[in-house]
Amino acid sequence: MAGLLSTFPKRVKVLDPGAGTGTLSAAICNRVLALSSPHHLEIHLFETDASIIPLLDENMKNCRSALRERGHRMSYDIHQADYILSNAHAFGQHLLFDSGTELGQFDLVIMNPPYFKVGKDSQYAQIMYRLVHGQPNIYALFMALGAEMLRPGGQLVAITPRSFCSGLYFRGFRRWFFDRMSLRHIHLFESRTDTFREANVLQESVITLTQRLTKQPASIAISTSYGRDLPKEPAARQIAANKVIDAANGSMVVRIPENAQDALVMELVEAWPKRFLDLGLRVSTGPVVMFRARQFLLDSLDAKDAVPLLSVHNVHPFQTVWPVPKKNKPTGFKACAESRRLLVPTRNYVLLRRFTAKEERRRLVASCFLKNSEARPYVALENHLNYIYHQSRELTDHEVYGLAALFNSALLDRYFRTISGNTQVNATELRTINFPDLNTIARIGRHIVKLEQAATREAERIVAAELGANGPLQQYLTGLVT
């Protein structure tokens, strides 16, 4: 993180919010240590955990001594205070009994902020109400305040979850942030478990380098590693800025292609002529929330008013497998006047898992649910599923198979991974993706139904051939299929 920073004037003012034991500030000191001309570091560290303040102080003293021996100067202040509440004035907010002092502007901000959701009524959300939507996360508020405390041209480097890069909850933050900050470098950790494995954290993490400039650069550097196995100088690819930050509809989604082939996948998908909604397609989330519908859950379909209850374990590539005996998992649902609002009519659907298990090979898993496979007039879909249908008519069998083939393909899976690091497949994100026309989708479906086993390399080849993924790109995609 310290190696990404390029702004080192003779006098450098550094902010380290959520400093912990001072590892990040020590890394800044190590950068300065190697500089030949004398520099003066002024570091401000915020930490609320009283138990580690002595170690933080000791580490900063050691850094100061090492710098002094090389002809540099270093001063530091440890603020045992809440970073956001102490600096609310930077957002134009002044809290009652606020004892914070204005620290001025900084040249560098380096941070590993905390991660937790905050309520809309919390003090944090009220201070930054302009960029809060839904259930905000504290790390985005740390980034925003860090940006606000930078001088023009100053740099901010942060290691955070990738979740801010897309999704409705962070849209206000992205709009605000990229209106002030230009994105310079992204480093993606591909593993969701390795980066913070001691804390048992399940998330994709990124390091971002941004600069307090309103003009975005022509290109953005992207580097990747599996987890903490970073080489000393990770190789970075320069990607056109408009390919990384999607400003369409003001969404400011940050896409992260992990390699050159993923960049080709982006080009191909975004050349498709229609958006999901333009095709008349709709996606909804299954209405059954188990703990709220306990009175309707059934262990079997023996009762005449029982209908199938489908959940994540019933959805396999192309196949809806039901019933699936699982311990303590109901297989049926009582259909009655009181439960009618939780049922959907038996129609042709594509069922899509909303969540995938950690480190699962595919983010997208879709099955076909056909009307002629179920005689009962209704079906119950659990909240961990999305279901896809047509707004004004029944999807044909071939359209169902074609859509399932597209969602199960390495092509769309790789594209989805460039736009989202979430383990959850959000309906909002699906609605913004470009799609081929329904005639092309049905043509894919006609080929798929002829296969003995749909989830094969042959299905991948069909999707790639019909959608123009030729040559090296087709080899890359088929190589991802086991």
Q: Which of 201, 237, 244 is nearest to 419 (CA)?
A: 244
**Could you tell me the domains of the chain?**
2-262 (3.40.50.150), 277-479 (3.90.220.10)
> Under 8 Å CB-to-CB from 372, ≥6 apart: which residues?
none
pLDDT at 96 (0 to 100): 46
CA distance 143 to 188: 17
Which residues in the chain come in under a pLDDT of 50? 96-97, 99, 197-198, 200, 202, 358
DSSP state of 382: B
Phi-psi region of 334 (alpha: psi -120 to 50; beta: other; left: phi over 0): beta
- pLDDT of 129 reads 78
SS3 389: strand
Instruction: Please write the tens of the pLDDT for every residue from 149-196.
Output: 999 999 999 999 998 998 888 888 999 999 999 999 999 987 655 555
Note whether 210 and 247 are within 8 A (CB).
Answer: no
Q: Please state whether beta strands 366-369 and 318-320 pair in parallel, antiparallel, or not at all (unpaired).
A: parallel
- 3-class SS of residue 373: helix
- Distance, CA of 356 to chain centre: 13
Residues 298-310: tens digit of each pLDDT: 988 888 899 999 9
Q: Where are the beta strands (DSSP E) in 175-228?
A: 182-189, 205-211, 219-225
